[in-house]
DNA sequence: TTGCATTAACGAAAAATATCTTTATTGCAT
DNA sequence: ATGCAATAAAGATATTTTTCGTTAATGCAA
């Protein structure tokens, strides 16, 4: 949970900050495409409807320095955030469950662009096993053991039906997966040292509906 | 931003609570399937690796009452949370951008199950226009104006390529959309009264990578 | 060069969220 | 019945996160 900052000292990055940084990054990339070289915290703040000092606080975690009266250098922001979030270091992942969502993730170039490389897919449906999507081969679950020896990946993406999530997670953990990215709404039990990150669109849906009806 | 609770008084539900409730719900549904009738806050807490009192606080927002020494009634939990999150009232949505992700969302039964009905898709690709996915017809963007008159929807789901997000949002807002569910990493500018909820898997990815490397 | 306006940075305060403590209830074993 | 243990609920405290206020830097105009 500790982040090594540019002073060599240890400090924690707040999760909310971590979650906002990719949004900033996308915005900065768009600025760059439009030929804009500098941006101020207040511009960012108004774009994201937030407080300007929060923007500077967030950015300061990455070690980037803004210049008074000038703002931040867009190119530098992009490089710094990518580096800070480690979107530039390739990280391999296995994907379990090649249904609609799994397929979409495999097809989605965004993940690769941000460092996550899905190197193999796994499913139980004989109709998909041995097929390839975007040059990524789909294997039977049984093949996982062998494949996890040949190719190494630290991340398992779970996009199976809900009921299969725990079994797949157990399998992945048994074979040394370090982090599980769980796209099912199912809660998953893992040993202490394994990281689980849940992505639930239902949470977002709940927030939308709540805002809509109040 | 106000939530009408069972006392008839007004109170705000913390967003973190709102975001956790769907996870609980999924867990309670699984318990029900396994024939489990009651559950205690400490059980929930250990499942989700959190503090038990936080669970009780979260659940108390929904108005549900637990019984000392017994816990909560699973059936009642499910009904109450569904009602509280308004997952039982149908809400129509238009979906813009029928690429991999858009297609996955249309195919995904989960959304419908939780109240969100995608009633039409829109795209610019002549190859998809007039096609149907799961009985949901895909229209050209130009058709939106007419369709939004015939069918009403308060929510616009944006799954277009990044660069198109703002234009589509503008179009949706012009035709009276109340909330935008933005799946692109692009930040979107809308008038004050329009709700925007961003779903960014990059935020989750950032959190995973950060945990992995620390 | 001087002063003004803009802006990042830093520390303090406030607000929001989570945890801890206490209390009261009640099922269950004795 | 009685006491014990488990549990929800409510309030107090602690922690985290955001916002506010101040300071210092500096580009730019006069």
Nearest CA to B180 out of B191, B193, B169, B192 is that of: B169
**Residues A38/A70, Cβ–Cβ less than 8 Å:** yes
Whose tokens are 């997952």? That residue is B87
The span from the first CA to the last CA of chain B, in angstroms, equals 37
B198, B162 in Cβ contact below 8 A?
A: no
Residue percentage of chain B with pLDDT more than 70: 95
- How far is residue A112's CA from residue A163's CA, in Å, rounded to a whole number? 28
Q: In degrees rounded to 5, what are phi and psi of residue B179?
A: -145, 140
CB atoms under 10 Å from CB of A142, counted, come to: 11
Number of helical H runs and strand E runs in chain B? 9, 11
Q: How confident is the model at residue B16 (pLDDT cuts 50, 70, 90)?
A: very high
> With bands split at pLDDT 50, 70 and 90, how would you rate the model's confidence at B7?
very low
**Which run of H or of E encompasses B78?**
helix B74-85
- A vs B, Cβ pairs < 8 A, gives 182
| pLDDT of B188 | 95
Q: How far apart are CA A22 and CA B200, in angstroms?
A: 8
Which residues, by CB, come closer than 7 Å to strand C? A 40-42, 52-53, 56-57, 59-60, 65-72; B 14-17, 50-51, 53-54, 57, 67-70
A13 inside 8 A of chain B by CB:
yes
Residue B10 pLDDT class (50, 70, 90 cuts): very low
Distance CA(A38)–CA(A67), nearest Å, equals 10
Instruction: Provide mean pLDDT across the span A112-139.
Output: 96
B59 CA → C23 C1’, Å: 20
Contact with chain A for residue B200, Cβ under 8 A: yes
A195/A1 Cα distance (integer angstroms): 11
Closest CA to B172 of B144, B140, B203: B144
Beta strand spans in chain A (E): 3-4, 10-11, 38-39, 72-73, 91-96, 116-123, 132-133, 136-140, 155-158, 179-182, 195-198
Q: How far is CA A195 from the centre of its chain?
A: 13
Euclidean distance between CA atoms A33 and B172, whole angstroms: 25
- Give the tokens for residue B40: 């205690």
Residue in the block written with tokens 């960012």: A44
Q: Tell how strand B3-4 and strand B10-11 pair up.
A: antiparallel
Could you report the per-residue pLDDT of B58-103, keeping only the tens digit for each? 999 999 999 999 999 999 999 999 999 999 999 999 999 999 999 9
- The average confidence (pLDDT) of chain B is 93
Shortest alpha-carbon distance between residue B208 and chain A (Å): 7
- Per the listing, tokens 């967003």 go with B15
Q: Output the pTM of the full model.
A: 0.93
Distance B58 CA to C16 C1' (A): 15
Contacts within 8 Å (CB) and 24+ apart, B60-68: B61/B3, B61/B5, B61/B11, B61/B13, B61/B14, B61/B17, B62/B21, B63/B5, B63/B6, B66/B40, B66/B41
pLDDT above 80 for A4 = no
To which residue do tokens 């503008």 refer? B170
Residue A84: both structure tokens together: 């800070």
């Amino acid at each position: 949970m500790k982040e090594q900052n540019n002073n060599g000292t240890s400090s924690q990055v707040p999760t909310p900050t971590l979650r906002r940084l990719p949004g900033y990054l996308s915005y900065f990339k768009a600025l760059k495409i439009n030929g804009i070289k500098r941006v101020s915290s207040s511009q960012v703040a108004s774009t994201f409807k937030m407080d300007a000092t929060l923007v500077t606080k967030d950015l300061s975690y990455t070690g980037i320095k803004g210049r008074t009266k000038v703002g931040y250098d867009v190119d530098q922001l992009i490089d710094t955030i990518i580096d800070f979030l480690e979107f530039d270091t390739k990280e391999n992942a296995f994907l379990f469950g090649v249904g609609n969502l799994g397929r979409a993730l495999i097809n989605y170039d965004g993940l690769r662009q941000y460092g996550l490389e899905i190197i193999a897919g796994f499913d139980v449906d004989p109709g998909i096993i041995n097929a390839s999507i975007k040059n990524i081969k789909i294997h039977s679950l049984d093949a996982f053991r062998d494949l996890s020896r040949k190719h190494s990946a630290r991340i398992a993406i779970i996009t199976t039906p809900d009921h299969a999530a725990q079994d797949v997670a157990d399998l992945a953990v048994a074979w040394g997966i370090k982090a599980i990215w769980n796209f099912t709404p199912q809660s998953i039990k893992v040993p202490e040292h394994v990281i689980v990150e849940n992505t639930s669109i239902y949470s977002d849906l709940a927030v939308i509906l709540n805002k809509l009806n109040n």
